[in-house]
């Protein structure tokens, strides 16, 4: 397929690229934009390591074609923090040592961020369903991930007043 000029936003910054519209978003983020926090896991949209937010909703960037993001806003793990400090959900995950190998955690943080923005106090069943639907963690950090999720919920509820 011929290259297309595609314009979109990443972490609040405008991006314009000429690439094939079939190029997986994860490749554009990692290779063309040097945003290495988005990991490539299975490459089939099954593991969640490559999760980013597209207009605030979590998507697997490995099976998101570049043409589908034209005119839209993408947030990566890098977009959740500033140069001086991690974002609030990131800090909670660090405090809880919620990652063991760390490969899946960026995608999980992106999903947690999206869920809490949409529903600040989800019940345990909603949390488990949300994480089960799109994330694989093979190293056994699930207990710490759930503790971090609980703390993030509390922080969101406190900030909402």
- Domain at 3-80, CATH homologous superfamily: Beta-grasp domain (3.10.20.30)
Which of 25-39, 60-74, 83-97 shows the lowest mean pLDDT across its residues? 83-97
Contact present, 117 and 157 (Cβ < 8 Å): no
Does 57 score more than 90 pLDDT?
yes
Instruction: List the structure tokens of 100.
Output: 């063991």
The Cα–Cα gap between 156 and 72 comes to 26
Query: Cα 35 to chain center, whole Å?
Result: 12
Round to whole Å and give the CA distance between 141 and 133: 17
Residue extents of the structural domains in the chain: 3-80, 88-160
Q: Give the angle subtended at the CA of 144 by the CAs of 41 and 111, to the nearest 5°.
A: 50
Minimum mean pLDDT range among 86-90, 139-143, 150-154: 139-143
Residue pair 71/80 in contact by the 8 Å Cβ criterion? no
pLDDT at 100: 78
Pairing of strands 13-20, 57-60: unpaired
Range with top average pLDDT, 31-35, 91-95, 154-158: 31-35
Percentage of the chain exceeding pLDDT 70: 97
Specify whether the CB–CB gap between 43 and 62 falls below 8 A.
yes
Average pLDDT over residues 7-13: 97
CATH of 88-160, one of 3.10.310.10, 1.10.1670.10, 1.10.150.120, 3.40.225.10: 1.10.150.120
Question: What is the chain's mean pLDDT, rounded?
Answer: 88
pLDDT at 141 over 80: no
5 pLDDT more than 70: yes
Same topology between domain 3-80 and domain 88-160: no
Mean pLDDT, rounded, for 77-103? 85
Report the C-alpha gap between 116 and 23 in whole angstroms.
Answer: 30
* Per-residue model confidence (pLDDT) at position 120: 85
pLDDT over threshold 80, residue 80: yes
Strand partners, 96: none
């Amino acid at each position: 397929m011929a290259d297309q000029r595609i314009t979109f936003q990443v972490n609040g910054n405008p991006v314009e690229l000429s690439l094939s519209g079939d190029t997986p978003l994860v490749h554009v983020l990692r290779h063309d934009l040097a945003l290495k926090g988005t990991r490539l896991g299975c490459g089939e949209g099954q593991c969640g390591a490559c999760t980013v937010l597209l207009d605030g909703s979590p998507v697997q960037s490995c099976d998101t074609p570049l043409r589908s993001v034209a005119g839209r806003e993408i947030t990566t793990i890098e977009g959740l923090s500033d140069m001086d400090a991690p974002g609030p959900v990131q800090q909670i995950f660090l405090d809880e040592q919620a990652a063991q190998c760390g490969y899946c955690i960026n995608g999980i943080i992106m999903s947690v961020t999206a869920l809490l923005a949409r529903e600040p106090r989800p019940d345990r069943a909603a949390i488990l369903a949300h994480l089960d639907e799109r994330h694989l963690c093979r190293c056994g950090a699930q207990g710490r991930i759930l503790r971090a999720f609980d703390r993030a919920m509390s922080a969101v509820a406190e900030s909402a007043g």
